[in-house]
Chain A
Amino acid sequence: MEYNKVCLMYRAKDSTVDGIRSGLGLAVENMYAYGVVLDDVTMDKLDENQIESIEMLRDMEGEIYSTNPANCELNGLEPITIEELGEKLRDMTHIIPYGIK
């Protein structure tokens, strides 16, 4: 069986945390789910519940990346460049530019 691979990308601070939750929702449905916080977003420090969501996602072989180093440092996200993201998207069954810009 081929599993779906889904990547959600976030460009608005307001929708980033909920977008990560959407990714987790897909992971529990047996999909590979990834989220990417793009440069436009400078995140606040995630709370315990939000960090737990990301850890759950990682337990299901998902990941949350960011092209913004400040987000990686503050919230322990995986760094990714825009070029690396583009290459990763080529491998996805579903690509979801999430929310507003």
Chain B
Amino acid sequence: MAKSLGIFVTNPEQFKHVMGITKAAKAKGSKVKVFFTWDGTLNAKKEAGFKDLCELADDVSICADSYVKQGYDVKDIPEGLDEKKMATQAQHGIIIEDYDCYLSL
């Protein structure tokens, strides 16, 4: 069985790689969780493929506090997410604790 992979996104310029790596990992049968923080959360509003990522990965969430600090209203939930996925840094902890492989981008 393929290893699981958690991706922690802190850089808004890495979305292409987030997608590419998620696609490749899913093709190998991996469970993939992605968590966006700080200006990485801009991807949720500015990247056309964000919704596709949410459908492709097993779990996608963003740091709600970071999102607000980037100027967005927390009630303005990006397409592909729901209220529960407007999350906290605890999601990063889950990636570290519960996933076989860790990648920051």
Contact = CB atoms under 8 A, between A and B. Distances in A.
A10 to B, nearest CB: 10
Interface string A11-35: 0001100110110111001010000
A26 B11 contact: no
22 contacts: A4-B96, A14-B39, A15-B10, A18-B37, A18-B38, A18-B66, A18-B69, A19-B10, A19-B38, A21-B89, A22-B10, A22-B37, A22-B38, A22-B92, A25-B88, A29-B93, A29-B97, A96-B10, A96-B104, A97-B104, A98-B10, A99-B38
Interface of B: 8, 10-13, 37-39, 65-66, 69, 88-90, 92-93, 96-97, 102, 104
A26 B96 CA distance: 9
A6 interface: yes
Nearest to A26: B93
B44 to A, nearest CB: 16
A20 B65 CA distance: 14
A69 B94 CA distance: 34
Interface in A16-61: 18-19, 21-22, 24-26, 29, 31
Contacts of B38: 15, 18-19, 22, 99
A25 B90 CA distance: 7
B89 A98 contact: no
Given A15-B38, A100-B11, A22 B89 contact: yes
B92 A26 contact: yes
B39 A15 contact: yes
A51 B39 CA distance: 22
A88 interface: no
